[in-house]
Amino acid sequence: MNDHPINVAGVDAVIAKVRAVYGRWRRDTPVAQMRADWDQLFGATGDARFTPVQADGVPCAWVAAPGVRADRAIVYFHGGGFQVGSLQSHRELMGRLSAAAGVRVLGVDYRLAPEHHHPAPLEDALAVMRWLGAQGLPLPHTALAGDSAGGGLALATLLALQAQGDERPAAAFLLSAWTDLAATGESYETRAKADPIHQRPMIQAMARNFLGPQADARDPLASPLYADAAALGRLPPLLLQVGDRETVLSDSVQFAQRANAAGGRAVCQAWPEMVHVFQQFPNELPQARAALAEGGLFLAAHLGGASTGDIAP
């Protein structure tokens, strides 16, 4: 993992880009403006084919790099604190993941707060998984992936699917996953000075906005870190990547530890000097490109070998 020298200028450029967006936001900034700003931050689109589709009423898009197979799929849940982020903001990341894994990616445009609270995103995720089954893609022919809030949503989806049957997705790839909406991890203290963007008060405010007045921050379907051992032990193989400078570092480290202690298979990679969802900056950071390549290889290995005669255009 990560044999590339740290490009300090590249990391600083990424931090400056994100801070420039956050710095424009005030308490009275409309959420529509915040979403537009976030989409503009990640303007690149890449060369992957982008095909919008309605998945049982949930807006989605197929993202397919040239020549990938169509009989397997990665379902991707974007990050953004459950309040911003979209298929547009994550279009390049999904395209690169499609190329790295050799399969199509289905991006999910799940409902966001403050218009919709928990469990609306999870309901959308489960609807998409049912729709995929009806399209001829059963759970073992799929894998899940997501970053930040989307990483937590991917894990919550895996937990919810357990109650619906014995089949499960083949694997999951989580990028800076937000697994603990209660924000109890020690990294909120140990990485507070190193993380240039996210601090505990911001994380807690986003959690309150998403959960609404009724939900519990320790509900495992909102915060997968609190799932019981039996559920964690039945999860498919997991690869978690996180930046070592992140205040949410503990969310990934502790989740992997608990999953492995319960009999699961989880690998957690903490990438030195990297920031939150650094994989979303592949043009600036060689570590982002390397991390996505590793994630793609991991998912491809669990989705099975190449098929013949079933390649997406």
Indicate which residues carry an active-site annotation.
148, 246, 276
Q: Which two tokens stand for residue 259?
A: 């999953």
Q: What type of residue sits at position 79?
A: G
- Cα distances (angstroms) measured from residue 217 to each of 49, 207, 226, 261, 299: 38, 7, 10, 23, 30
